[in-house]
Amino acid sequence: MAKRSILHMLDPMTNNSPFDINMALDCDFDVLMPYSNVTLDSVHGLTQDAIFSRGPKGVKKTGIFIGGRDIGVAVDMLNSAKKAMVPPFEVSVFADPSGAFTTAAALVACVEKELKNKHNKKLKDCKALVFGGTGPVGIATGVIASLAGAETILVDHISAEAADNLATEYNRRFDSHLTGAAATYDEDKIKLLEGVDLVFCTAKAGIQILSPEVLNTVRQLKVVGDVNAVPPAGIAGVQMNDFGAPLTHASNADNAVAVGPLAVGNIKYKVQHALLCSMLTADKPVYLDFRAAFEKATEILKDK
């Protein structure tokens, strides 16, 4: 009897994400097994229960997906699962907490594409701000941009100390070079935007971070990306489907361009789908996090 494919979905939160469950089903996993309130200490045992019960042929049809909201915990869980493998009993593992890794990868890759197309520059040539930079998507965005060479600042709405502490933590984890800042008022944002080339907006949905008045002060801005799909736009003037459209409120609107949330979301969906499917099709087990997601996003955008 042929083995059915199984995806074990480990989540530290109370509930597994319906989004991730839908995505996994669309990649043709036969059986999804959600686990909630999973602790880091339990990952090793759960992983070995999964690998030793199916045999060498069965493990090729078995995967582990790690959700949650904390990207540090998710990476720790992925590493714990990887250490629990005993070849040839080894399965693929994909961490994407709150979709942060695939969303951030899509956001940075889309901005990078427009930076090259419109300005013939690379991320390493630029200074970037990440508004909403202390949330999961913001931190992942900052790490990806920093590792690609951009001078990157995580911006918190209230606390520079909180942003600095997170920058320090994730620099230690991933050898990035993030710094932190706070911007509560428009005058704070205007000051931070001086000399900035790129803006990534990953703040809470439905909150406008950069107003027309703030944007009207910028002189050097090249590309902005906004993942907020709930009106108002996080960055004034950014439309849902923008992909290289002029940033109308910027003082240099003839030079600055925007990437909107649906454009980012389209790539995020393709990245998550491709990585989930690769767990069933790869010749060898794969271990997937924000690095694999960014590589896949960049690959997908080469064909657009």
pTM of the model: 0.96
Measured CA to CA, the distance from residue 129 to residue 111 in angstroms comes to 12
Question: Quick check: 253 pLDDT over 70?
Answer: no
CATH number, position 37? 3.40.50.10280
Residue range(s) defining the domain that contains residue 195: 100-264
| 58 and 71 Cβ atoms separated by less than 8 Å | no
Which pLDDT score is estimated for 64?
A: 98
Residues 38-74 have pLDDT tens digits of 999 999 999 999 999 888 888 889 999 999 999 999 9
Measured CA to CA, the distance from residue 256 to residue 246 in angstroms comes to 6
Co-location of 63 and 188 in the same domain: no
Co-location of 139 and 258 in the same domain: yes
**Number of domains within the chain:** 2
Co-location of 80 and 131 in the same domain: no
Co-location of 90 and 137 in the same domain: no
Residues 106-125 have pLDDT tens digits of 999 999 999 999 999 999 99
